[in-house]
Amino acid sequence: MRTLILSDIHANLPALEAVITDAGHVDRTWCLGDLVGYGPEPNECIELINQQPGLSCVLGNHDSAVVEKININTFNGDAKVALIWQKKMLGNTNKKFLMSLNEVEFINNVMLVHGSPRNPVWEYILNSEIARKNFKILQSEMCLTGHSHIPGIFTLQIDQSIEFQQPRSRWSGDISCKHILNPGSVGQPRDRDSRASYVIFDDEDQSWHFHRVEYDISKVQHRIIESGLPFSLAHRLSLGF
Ligand code: ZN
């Protein structure tokens, strides 16, 4: 069975379409939140995600803000401007979908969250120290997270040290260790690689495949500007940051 794992779409429809096409046939889709925020097409992205097979999806911080589960004033600058605009644009069915999302999902022995096991919506796992604190409370062997927009895997090794790696293709973990895996961001990568990022999990041989795919960045940049959203949100997509 092939599972598409994706996160942080951020209303970037051309990037999401490119990922879905590049992934090909999948049996399941696990989305780690932030369907909205920053980009010009929140409705279209939510609708396309809902068409994907075997969908499981968790709530991201931007999703939470746009449906007022958390205060939009928690955000600042461009993020806040985009959320206020999206809140006006979002259709009722799509709002209801975001309202229905849980902060945590478990599928077999895999935990799905947007942020981290101890703070599912907000915490960024950006270094080994934060990863270690989360491994302490992680009950499952594998946790999937988004939020940082940086693809990679933290592993709690047998000797209790923490390893971080960024595989460029296939990766298969030691099943006696715990792992926190981030597939990177579809719609706003921040690792200086502007291509959309995602992972395919093949449960037959328990392998995880990291992918990057190019998409038409200028198309979404035009839509950002046409929508009256801040220019910097368009510009950063070319930088992959
Ligand atoms: Zn995000």
Is residue 110 scored above 90 in pLDDT? yes
Distance 158 CA to ligand 1 centre (A): 31
Distance 174 CA to ligand 1 centre (A): 28
Q: Are 36 and 84 within 8 A, CB to CB?
A: no
Predicted confidence at residue 15, as pLDDT, reads: 98
Segment 171-175 shows an average pLDDT of: 90
Predicted TM-score of the model (pTM): 0.97
The H-assigned helical ranges of the chain are 13-23, 42-50, 61-66, 77-89, 92-100, 128-137, 217-226, 231-239
* Token pair for 200: 């395919």
The pLDDT confidence band at residue 173, using thresholds 50, 70 and 90, is confident
* C-alpha span between 146 and 57 (Å, rounded): 12
Distance 196 CA to ligand 1 centre (A): 13
Distance 151 CA to ligand 1 centre (A): 12
* C-alpha span between 206 and 11 (Å, rounded): 30
What's the Cα-to-Cα distance from 47 to each of 17, 71, 164, 171, 237, rounded to whole Å? 12, 24, 34, 31, 22
**End-to-end Cα separation, the chain, in angstroms:** 33
Distance 32 CA to ligand 1 centre (A): 9
Distance 177 CA to ligand 1 centre (A): 27
Which tens digit of pLDDT belongs to each residue from 48-107?
999 999 999 999 999 999 999 999 999 999 999 999 999 999 999 999 999 999 999 999
* C-alpha span between 3 and 120 (Å, rounded): 21
What does the mean pLDDT of the chain come to? 97
Distance 176 CA to ligand 1 centre (A): 30
Distance 110 CA to ligand 1 centre (A): 21
